[in-house]
Structures are given as C-alpha cells and as structure tokens.
Amino acid sequence: MYRSREHKMIAGVCGGIAERFGMAPTMVRLLFLLSCILPGPQFILYLIMWVAVPKAPARQYH
C-alpha cells in the first residue's frame, strides 16, 4: 500500500486506502471524518500512516 500522489488532500493516506481497495477517495475521506465522531485512535492512526506508509512511486513516461 502507498500514499496516493494523485488523490491527495493532506498526506494522501485516504487516497491510498481508496486506491488499494478500489473505492472513491471522497467516500474514504467521508468515512474517516464520520469515524472521528466515535471514540478511538483514528487521528493517531492517520498520523502513524502518514509517517509509516511510503508515497506511491512517481510514474515515469517514455
């Protein structure tokens, strides 16, 4: 899994999750925001993924 270069708003974490599971990035972002209403470490997990998950490799065109 990679952080998205194309579907990124802040760090590309939600965009990367969307690309990995074939979902719309907007839907993943909305689900993340809704999950922040519930108690839990969602925001901390986002920060950890921001640091731990590498960016997607740059596409090279010939």
Residue located via tokens 């997990």: 45
What pLDDT was estimated at residue 62?
Answer: 57
Q: Which of 40, 58, 48 is nearest to 11 (CA)?
A: 48
In whole angstroms, what is the distance from residue 44 CA to residue 58 CA? 27
In whole angstroms, what is the distance from residue 15 CA to residue 50 CA? 12
Phi, psi of 60 (to 5 degrees): -110, 125
Residue located via tokens 């921001």: 50
pTM recorded for the entire structure: 0.81
pLDDT in tens, 1-58: 888 888 888 899 999 999 999 999 999 999 999 999 999 899 899 999 999 999 988 8
